[in-house]
Amino acid sequence: PTENEGLIITGLGGDDKQFRYFVTIPASRKLVLKSSFKTKIKKTFSLLFSQTEAKIEKITIKPDHVRLVLLISMDSSVDGIVMPFIQKINFDSSQLFEHYLVVNTNVPNDNEIQGYVGQIRKS
């Protein structure tokens, strides 16, 4: 960077003017997510956000939660992206908790993710 530019580094990095985030969103109680849910996620995300605002790099569907790797513009907040996304997914029926885990330093291991998901789904 030049004298007038800042340099921001996160553990998961980013791309151009977007930071990379790992997001876990638990499924609603007793709901079992299917792999076909990935299509709904992609459609909903593309309806809500431009490619410069936010992009999905990876989607992993587990029976009790969704894992996303997102690139989010430095000019946007994570909550300003994730909450409208969850609310739009839940418009017809509640499929995801309006609670999520976000990390930009590393990808949590399966035990950490399952611990979080289990705790939220019990509440």
Give the pLDDT score at 65. 98
Which of residues 1 and 99 earns the better pLDDT score? 99
* Domain 14-122 -> CATH class: alpha beta
Residue 34 has pLDDT above 60, yes or no: yes
Give the pLDDT score at 15. 86
- How many residues are recorded in the chain? 123
Rounded distance, CA 46 to CA 63, Å? 23
pLDDT tens-digit map of 73-123: 999 999 999 999 999 999 999 999 999 999 999 999 999 999 999 999 998
Lowest mean pLDDT among 10-14, 35-39, 66-70: 10-14
pLDDT tens-digit map of 40-61: 999 999 999 999 999 999 999 9
Domain definitions of the chain by residue range: 14-122
Whose tokens are 């490619």? That residue is: 51
Contact (CB, 8 A) for 59 and 42:
yes
Q: Please report the beta strands in 1-123, taking only residues with DSSP state E, as ranges in sequence order.
A: 14-15, 18-26, 54-62, 65-73, 101-103
- Give the pTM: 0.90
Give the pLDDT score at 9. 64
